[in-house]
Amino acid sequence: MSGFIFKSVALRNICPMMEKQGFYDFTSIEKKWQQYWADHKTFRTEITDPAQPKYYVLDMFPYPSGAGLHVGHPEGYTATDIISRYKRMKGFNVLHPMGWDAFGLPAEQYAIQTGTHPAVTTAKNCDTFRTQIQSLGMSYDWDREVNTTDPDYYKWTQWIFSQIYATWYDADQKKGRPISELPIPAEVEAAGPAAVRDYRDSKRLAYYAGAQVWWCKQCQIVCANEEVLNDGSHEKCGSRDVERRFLKQWLLRIPQYAERLLEGLDSVDWPEGIKEMQRNWIGKSIGAEVDFQVQGLDATIRVFTTRPDTLFGATYMVLAPEHPLVPDITTADHQDALSAYLKQAALKSDMDRTELAKDKTGVFSGTCAINPVNGQAIPIWIADYVLMGYGTGAIMAVPAHDTRDFEFAKTFDLPVICIMEPQTDDPDLKARVLAGEACWTEDGSYIRSANPDEGLDINGLNKQDGVARTIAWLQNKNLGHGTTNYRLRDWLFSRQRYWGEPFPIIHWEDGDVTLVDEADLPLALPKLSNYQPGEGGESPLSNATDWLSVTDPATGRKGRRELNTMPQWAGSCWYYLRYMDPKNSEQGWASDIEKYWMPVDLYVGGAEHAVLHLLYSRFWHKVLYDLGHVSTDEPFQKLFNQGMILAYAYEDDAGSKVASDLVENRDGQFFHTDTGQPLKQIVAKMSKTLKNVVNPDDVVRDYGADSMRLYEMFMGPLEATKPWNTQGVEGVYRFLQKAWRLFVHEETGGMNEAVQDVEPDEATLRVLHQTIKKVGSDIETFSFNTAISQMMIFVNHMTKQKVRSKAVLKPFVLVLAPFSPHIAEELWQRLGETDTLAYTPWPVYEERLLQEKEIELAIQIRGKIKDKIVVPADTSEQDIQARALASDKVQAALNGQTPKKIIVIKSRLVNIVV
RNA sequence: GCCGGAGUGGCGGAAUUGGCAGACGCGCGGGAUUCAAAAUCCCGUCCUGGCAACAGGGUGAGGGUUCAAGUCCCUCCUCCGGCACCA
């Protein structure tokens, strides 16, 4: 069905001679203007006047995969291009760059298979992407193109890493400071240089340490926690062959910036959902640390709790299986059970992690601890529902007021002591809670929560006061203190790969670690003949023996370069800074340029980067800010997430999917071509197996880039997830043809004789000014779909006009230009203009021309429409009331009743209340 | 389970933020043009009843506030995205 349409459209372009002279020949028009923009460097951006207002529009740059562009890419790119073109016409100096996030696994895997250097594969893919993007007429300043794999680029990625390495976080000043300013405690100083070095290393924002990491057997790579999905599979390759390993790794202390990252969210204009996701990811929780004395042992267990107020209800404690005190507190008679349990827990981490979330398990250690508020002995259990990586790896369990503890207590028949009378109207629930048969986590009033001997009594208080009173008491008794915990962990920052930025680090034989001299950056990747990873999970760089070993020319000391490379996040953490000053060989960016352009005014990309990329980027930016390298605390002022583009797919009654080439459309019903059974149309992700992938190149070939751009914007709200429909492309294509024919005589190719230098009539002028107004304001609010609707209304109106005023057509061309720039430039030229319209001022609408002279009012009785009247726009309220009541239909509907009240909404309606 | 977003014709989606529900586009039906088709142009198209004028119903379900509710409030259902033993 659609194949037939494709064919006929394509035919027009192959054989234009068969057609009329003046047909809308998008192929040559688009080629012509893309050439023009390139030749004239129309979109080259410079700071010519520092007083000119700037606008920085950024797209999330793509990973240039071998598959080329898919229709999802141009969605965001078109939106930002419309904004860019519009802002230029509004007089802004617009920075609108594009580049490549080009480090990544596929090129490296290809190298392992074929021996082709990843740089070669990458360059080829970048070329494809560039050509494809250029064929869409995007107004990027291509002189600013960046590529994260270019040594001139990653020189500065390495430089930023060096900065992070040489920084510590001063908690008092709440900012990062140079490591040289770190105060060294006297006792450390006294212990010698090695101790000082260790102390410094323990404070650096980047550090090297053994870490439990996830290892993907298929990719032969370490993955960050967040790259391993809940089902235990690796996000990148989908393999479930992921296991835990202990390896030396680079980590970044991002949790130290947790509070700053949290606070910064309040100052940026981002979708609330994304902010919330980041807040959840950071996971701030306020509570207290409390020390419990272990019975019969000279040891204390420190727990973190958000509910210190429930200490009187603590009936047992739990340690994570990995807790260091576990061996010490386990008594001989419980040793076997514990060993078995630990073994089982270790096994579990290799299984699907979803399995873990089921039933609670654990073993008793044989030892008790003393509850500090009442001196009671409570058993210490070992259970894997407590995680070593959060808080202190130990908890006090209050089953009456914590659902997890409650479940555990029920499983192992541990006592449940209710210490709070719940605030509820449900008497049954209240009774069960008080009896320890149900769990209550909400507010209420304390009972059984006093120890007069120790001076603690919170009975009768509510949660807020109880927490405060208890923390004060703990602090006073030196048993604990209020504290804040974050879920955010140190960022695992190294990968065992070749195709990534080398760390500018040297490990010396004496145990010293130093940065590569800034003058020696970039530390370029060595050429390799073998891209296979090393056996023990080492990166392929272990094959580059010459490159690896270094000798200090001054001292003769021998060292080895870092084998790991940086993760793909590194290059994308700061690319928005390099765009500003991409050719600078002295600095990553010049300060005065940075001050002019930053912050990014608008950042558009997919929501899949809601947490990781955006959090990492903000973290780096804040470090750079603290060190004085950038002038803003936050990098991205406004963020917008475009929705995903899906496609239609088909499934049979059994719910199994049917590939699109096996589907037949008969009068809107779908059938299987082979079996003839009816199919249901559904919406699904584009996939090769479903054969419903739409290739942008095909769309550009058959309908042109202008139609492609227009359709992507016309589909629906930018943020919505929506299905691609090729017939919809036909619709916008027809609109462009109609617009074309307003100007051009199809037979001759000359100007349509209807286009004349005449005064427009009032109605036409009104439609024009409504269009200028609506399109402008819709662009500002990203409502591109309704802007296009309005332009369609304009074109429909003009099509009916026998005489078309140039004075009306010209502003329309300008309004159309951001959306479909090629046809707009062409029409602009045909109207006699000689220069590009890219910098022509956006037309101004006049309020007085928007007003209708006569307005139609609906007349309602109790909200139901009974009649409509047309009155002059300036009719007074009294006259409108009179006119409304004079209506025959209204009189008939009133049926003699007297109106109680008449509500007149000017230019809208009249509502008569009876 | 928790957080976030969304439910409107056959379909994608509009609705000045409380003021005529269905703009615009697709699809479909009818007509013009054509030897015929494609393309183009015009008319119609929420549902029900009626030849029609017209009448009644209608924005996931139920209730409420209001002169007036797709829009605000309460209860519930469904779908999508994220998080998930984080103490």
* DSSP-based helix, strand, coil % in chain A, nearest 5: 40, 20, 40
pLDDT at A524 over 80: yes
Positive or negative, the Cα torsion across A905, A911, A912, A914?
A: negative
Q: Which of residues 555-584 of A touch strand B (CB under 7 A)?
A: none
Q: Within a 10 A sphere around the Cβ of A403, how many other Cβ atoms?
A: 11
Predicted local distance difference test score (pLDDT) of residue A548:
94
Predicted local distance difference test score (pLDDT) of residue A658:
82
Domain boundaries, chain A: 1-40+695-851, 285-418+466-485, 645-684, 852-913
Nearest Cα residue to A531 out of A109, A154, A25: A109
d(CA A774, CA A410): 63
Quickly name the fold that domain A852-913 has.
Ubiquitin-like (UB roll) (3.10.20)
Site of tokens 């492609």:
A708
| A250 sits within 7 Å of strand B by its CB | no
Evaluate whether A1-40+695-851 and A852-913 have a shared fold.
no
pLDDT-based confidence at residue A682 (cuts at 50, 70, 90)? confident
Site of tokens 């071998």:
A66
Q: Which nucleotides of B are covered by protein (CB under 7 A)?
A: 3-5, 10-16, 19-21, 23-29, 38-42, 55-56, 67-69, 80-87
d(CA A794, CA A803): 15
**Residues in contact with A582: Cβ distance below 8 Å, sequence separation at least 6, in sequence order:** A97, A143, A144, A145, A146
Give whichever of A347-351, A447-451, A669-673, A896-900 has the largest mean pLDDT.
A447-451
CB A649 within 8 A of CB A690: yes
Give chain A's mean pLDDT: 90
- Retrieve residue A18's tokens: 């068969």
For domain A1-40+695-851, the CATH superfamily is Isoleucyl-tRNA Synthetase; Domain 1 (1.10.730.10)
Judged on CB neighbours under 10 Å (0-12, 13-18, 19+), A145 is middle
Judged on CB neighbours under 10 Å (0-12, 13-18, 19+), A474 is buried
pLDDT-based confidence at residue A287 (cuts at 50, 70, 90)? very high
Å between A607 CA and B58 C1'? 36
pLDDT at A4 over 50: no
pLDDT at A261 over 80: yes
**Phi and psi torsions of A222, nearest 5°:** -80, 140
Cα distances from A55 to residues A121, A637, A897, in angstroms, run 34, 11, 62
Lowest mean pLDDT segment, chosen from A204-218, A445-459, A672-686: A672-686
Average pLDDT over residues A672-678: 79
pLDDT-based confidence at residue A224 (cuts at 50, 70, 90)? low
Give whichever of A388-392, A670-674, A863-867, A889-893 has the largest mean pLDDT.
A388-392
Alpha helices (runs of H) in A542-656, residue ranges in sequence order: 545-548, 569-572, 575-578, 591-597, 612-626
What is the DSSP-derived secondary structure letter of residue A103? -
Nearest nucleotide over every DNA/RNA strand to the A279 CA, judged by C1': B3
Lowest mean pLDDT segment, chosen from A245-259, A444-458, A643-657, A698-712: A643-657
Average pLDDT over residues A119-127: 96
What is the DSSP-derived secondary structure letter of residue A266? G
Å between A372 CA and B23 C1'? 70
pLDDT at A911 over 50: yes
d(CA A357, CA A524): 45
CB A311 within 8 A of CB A373: yes
d(CA A331, CA A338): 10
The neighbouring-strand residues paired with A484 are A286
Strand A804-805 with A663-666, pairing: unpaired
d(CA A395, CA A317): 6
- Tens of pLDDT, residue by residue over A583-606, are 999 999 999 999 999 999 999 999
d(CA A427, CA A438): 13
CATH of A285-418+466-485, one of 3.40.50.1220, 3.90.740.10, 1.20.81.30, 1.20.1630.10: 3.90.740.10
- Tens of pLDDT, residue by residue over A647-656, are 888 877 777 7
pLDDT at A473 over 50: yes
- Tens of pLDDT, residue by residue over A725-740, are 999 999 999 999 999 9
How many helices (DSSP H) and strands (DSSP E) are in chain A?
30, 39
pLDDT-based confidence at residue A210 (cuts at 50, 70, 90)? confident
- Tens of pLDDT, residue by residue over A653-666, are 777 778 888 887 76
- Tens of pLDDT, residue by residue over A817-862, are 999 999 999 999 999 999 999 999 999 999 889 888 888 888 888 8
- Retrieve residue A694's tokens: 């739409």
Average pLDDT over residues A118-137: 96
Q: Which residue has the higher pLDDT, A370 or A689?
A: A370
Positive or negative, the Cα torsion across A583, A586, A587, A590?
A: negative
Å between A770 CA and B31 C1'? 33
Site of tokens 């209710």:
A418
CB A785 within 8 A of CB A717: yes
Site of tokens 């898919």:
A70
- Tens of pLDDT, residue by residue over A350-379, are 554 444 456 788 999 999 999 999 999 999
d(CA A144, CA A99): 8
Q: Residue A437 half-sphere exposure, CB side, CA atoms within 13 Å?
A: 6
CB A291 within 8 A of CB A481: no
For residue A222, the one-letter residue type is: V
| A796 sits within 7 Å of strand B by its CB | yes
Helix (H) or strand (E) holding A34: helix A26-40
- ipTM for the predicted complex comes to 0.95
Q: Of all residues in chain A, what percent carry a pLDDT higher than 70?
A: 94
